[in-house]
């Protein structure tokens, strides 16, 4: 049975998820919370292999359906081996991306059927959803400029601006429809201001324990 809290960090490319994950962990550890950091796609040996398949530029193109199924295959492994056992032990789980990414990238970006995503979510997660999601929202061009400095762009990072506009818009629609779970943070602010907002949101959660 679930006991710990499940927190996810979401956002478009260059929104600062990686930068802020360890900040969130440190913050929660100050409140004596036992927390693990993990990520999607990935988090287990098999799921990390699937991640590599998804992110690498392969000779053979990956169809949209194969991409969606691979993401949920990785998620099934991750939930079974990492997320559920940790929550059952009373640990908090801090995850870099989860199913909101699927609604944003595959649903919004690729235009895949939201009903199919919902069906897979239902089957694979059996009701497991994040208690809190920090959505780092950033205008596409600002995010892209931050990421552009990287040497090699992966399969997703190589998509065009329109794809990321659709991703952002799908994220914001999800946040509008799930205001209790998804808290939107303006990630174009300075890091100091972003982290101030994070502290404020998390203080509500830690006050409840």
Closest CA to 54 of 144, 153, 154, 150: 154
Kindly state the smallest distance separating residue 193's Cβ from ligand Z5A, in Å: 8
Among 58-66, 77-85, 93-101, 111-119, the segment contacting ligand Z5A (CB under 6 A): 93-101
Helix/strand/coil for 17: helix
Q: With contact defined as beta carbons under 8 Å apart, do 183 and 134 qualify?
A: yes
End-to-end CA distance of the chain: 18
Nearer to ligand Z5A, 62 or 205 (CB): 62
Among 23, 76, 81, 157, binds ligand Z5A (CB under 6 A): 157
Is the bond leading into 32 cis (omega within 30 degrees of zero)? no
- What is the SS3 assignment for 43-87? CCHHHHHHHHHHHCCCCCCCCHHHHHHHHHHHHHHHHHHHHHHHH
- Distances 61 to 58, 107, 117 between C-alpha atoms, Å: 6, 19, 21
175 belongs to the binding site for ligand Z5A (CB under 6 A): no
10 belongs to the binding site for ligand Z5A (CB under 6 A): no
Kindly state the smallest distance separating residue 49's Cβ from ligand Z5A, in Å: 14
137 belongs to the binding site for ligand Z5A (CB under 6 A): no
Kindly state the smallest distance separating residue 209's Cβ from ligand Z5A, in Å: 27
44 belongs to the binding site for ligand Z5A (CB under 6 A): no
191 belongs to the binding site for ligand Z5A (CB under 6 A): yes
Closest CA to 201 of 29, 16, 27: 27
Among 9-17, 85-93, 113-121, 201-209, the segment contacting ligand Z5A (CB under 6 A): 9-17
Nearer to ligand Z5A, 97 or 174 (CB): 97
Kindly state the smallest distance separating residue 144's Cβ from ligand Z5A, in Å: 10
14 belongs to the binding site for ligand Z5A (CB under 6 A): yes
Listed in order, strand segments (DSSP E) in 91-168 are 92-96, 132-137
Residues lying near ligand Z5A in the complex (CB under 6 A): 11, 13-19, 40-41, 71, 96-97, 101-102, 105-106, 146, 156-157, 187, 190-191, 194
């Amino acid at each position: 049975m679930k006991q710990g809290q499940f927190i996810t960090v979401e956002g478009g490319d260059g929104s600062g998820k990686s930068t802020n994950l360890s900040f969130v962990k440190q913050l929660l550890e100050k409140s004596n919370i036992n927390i693990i950091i993990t990520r999607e796609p990935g988090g287990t040996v098999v799921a990390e292999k699937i991640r590599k398949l998804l992110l690498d530029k392969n000779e053979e193109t990956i169809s949209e359906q194969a991409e969606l199924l691979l993401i949920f295959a990785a998620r099934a492994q991750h939930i079974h081996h990492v997320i559920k056992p940790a929550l059952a032990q009373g640990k908090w789980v801090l995850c870099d991306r989860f199913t909101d990414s699927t609604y944003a990238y595959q649903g919004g970006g690729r235009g895949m059927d939201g009903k199919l995503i919902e069906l897979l979510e239902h089957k694979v997660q059996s009701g497991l959803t994040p208690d809190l999601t920090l959505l780092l929202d950033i205008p596409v061009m600002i995010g892209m400029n931050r990421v552009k400095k990287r040497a090699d762009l992966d399969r997703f990072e190589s998509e065009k601006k329109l794809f990321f506009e659709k991703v952002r818009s799908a994220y914001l629609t999800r946040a509008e429809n799930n205001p209790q779970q998804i808290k939107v943070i303006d990630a174009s602010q300075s890091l100091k201001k972003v982290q101030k907002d994070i502290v404020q949101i998390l203080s509500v959660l830690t006050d409840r324990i």
